[in-house]
Structure formats: C-alpha cells, structure tokens
Amino acid sequence: MPAAGFSRRMPLQAAGCGILFLLPEALVDSFQLQVIGEVRSCFKEKFAIPRQPALAPAARGIIELRPPYNQPHALAGLEQVSHVWVIFLFHQALDQQHRLQVRPPRLGGNQRLGVFASRASHRPNSIGQSLVRLERIDEECRLHISGIDLLDGTPVLDIKPYIPFVESVPDAWNRIAEQPPALLPVDWQPAALASAREHARRLQEPLVELIEQCLAQDPKPAYQQPEPSRQYGARLHDVNVVWCYPEAGEILVLAVE
C-alpha cells in the first residue's frame, strides 16, 4: 500500500519512435509542493536566456515571497550570505513529455544524453536550481538577485544559502562541460546602441551589458547557419532586441525598441 499522502501511478512506458519518455503517469509516488514565491525577471521569454546562471552578471531579478514567508523572521541571517540556491519549477515545461534522453544545446542539439547528465528543463518533476548572487533584501522582504537564468514568473519552491567551503570543489570535473562556452563578438548599429543606453537610463538597469552578455553566448540553436539577412529577436525587460549574424561567429545588434 502507498504511504499516507502518496498515490500509486502507472509504470514506465516507451514511445514507438525508439525514444523513451517518462510520462506524467509514470511517477510511482507523488506529493504536493508549495510555491513560496515568484521571480520577477528581466527575461520575458525563454529565447536568449543564458543556459546557466552567472553567465550574464547583468541579468537581474527579484524574488517576491508569498505569505507567510514574506516577513523578516523567515529571512533573518540571510543578509550574511552573498549567494543563494534558488529551487524552482520549469513552469512552461509542466505540460510537456519528460524524456529519458535530451539533446543539450551545448552539444549542438544533435547528441543525446541521459536526462540526469544534463540540466534540461525536460526532466522528472520539472524542478530546476540556480546559484545566483543575492544583491540585497529590501524593506518588503523581496530578494534582489543577479546573474540569473530565470524566466519572469518562475515559481520558487525554496531558497538555500550557498556555503563555499562545502559546495566549491576545486578538484571537481565535468567532461561534458569542461570549459565555459566561447563568446561571440557583439557589435552595434549606432542607433541601436544609443537607444539601448536611453532605455538603460529609463529602466535604471545595465541594459547594454545585459544584451552583450546574453547575445555573446549565441542564443540561436547551434545547428543553424543563418543568412546575414535573417533577423532574430528577444524581449529583455520591456524592450525588444533585434540582431543578425553578418558573418559566421559575429553578432550585430540592429535595434532596441
């Protein structure tokens, strides 16, 4: 018999195409998690979000806690911490099939890895974690964070302090991701740069740095080889950023509107 508060589900199933999927019904036991808050992020859509935290230090957000956690008692002592782990839900992947294998963008989108060897959003329970800098806690008990890779509206499940002497492992290795991704040079049309600087002053945010840090990581799928005339776009804060690839391995920002 299932333990109290748990429900028994159906066993693992396999799709006929040769790719195994872990369907939502495949969970053997389940329980409910409580959302403790939401992220207000500079990223309004998934495209152009850094694929890992800390790759864009200019990416800022705010964690707004829900009652009863939005009070000083719940945050006492956290001001002594520089970084926190944010445990969250990939809320835009909840209705998708959870695959046993994924194609990480870092590997070009063609090589398969087991889901537990990746940080893909297509995973059991759709739970993610990000290590972010805690800039400050304001008088409304909101956490101002930076270096984020979180979509606006992301549900937060927990917040935990980062402990350097435990969690920084000097001799650790990962042969799948041994080095940070190579950065592309980002150039600007003069009008686009002037517009970005104007919006940065209005927003009181490092918008120029945010655009350069995000685009330098090449948001497009690695397998695409676009023509110079093809344009890409993403929404950061409340502005639309448009760019192209005039040459292979180069980015030109065309407009910030």
Encoded amino acid at 32, one letter: Q
45: nearest Cα among 201, 238, 198: 238
Distance CA 236, CA 255 (A): 13
DSSP state of 148: -
Distance CA 7, CA 241 (A): 46
Which two three-digit tokens encode residue 49? Answer: 């979000």
Q: Within the chain, which residue ranges are assigned CATH 2.40.30.70?
A: 13-167
DSSP state of 110: T
Encoded amino acid at 256, one letter: V
Distance CA 207, CA 240 (A): 11
Residue 5, classified by CB atoms within 10 Å of its CB into exposed (0-12), middle (13-18) or buried (19+), is exposed
Prior bond of 206 cis (ω within 30°)? no
- Relative to beta strand 155-161, strand 37-41 is antiparallel
User: What is this structure's pTM?
Assistant: 0.85
Which two three-digit tokens encode residue 35? Answer: 């959302």
Distance CA 23, CA 98 (A): 6
DSSP labels for 206-224? -HHHHHHHHHTT--S-TT-
DSSP state of 164: H
Task: Give residue 182's Cα distance to chain centre.
Answer: 19
- pLDDT tens for the chain, 257 residues long, are 444 443 333 333 333 333 444 445 555 577 789 999 999 999 999 999 998 999 999 999 999 999 999 999 999 999 999 999 999 999 988 756 767 888 877 676 678 899 999 988 888 889 999 999 999 999 999 999 999 999 999 999 999 999 999 999 999 999 988 888 889 999 999 999 999 999 999 999 999 999 999 999 999 988 888 999 999 999 999 999 999 999 999 999 999 99
Please tell me the CATH superfamily of domain 13-167, with its number: YaeB-like (2.40.30.70)
Cβ atoms of 137 and 196 closer than 8 Å: no
SS3 content of the chain, % helix, strand, coil (to 5): 20, 30, 55
* Residues sharing a CB contact under 8 Å with residue 107, sequence separation 6 or more, in sequence order: 113, 176, 222
pLDDT of residue 96: 60
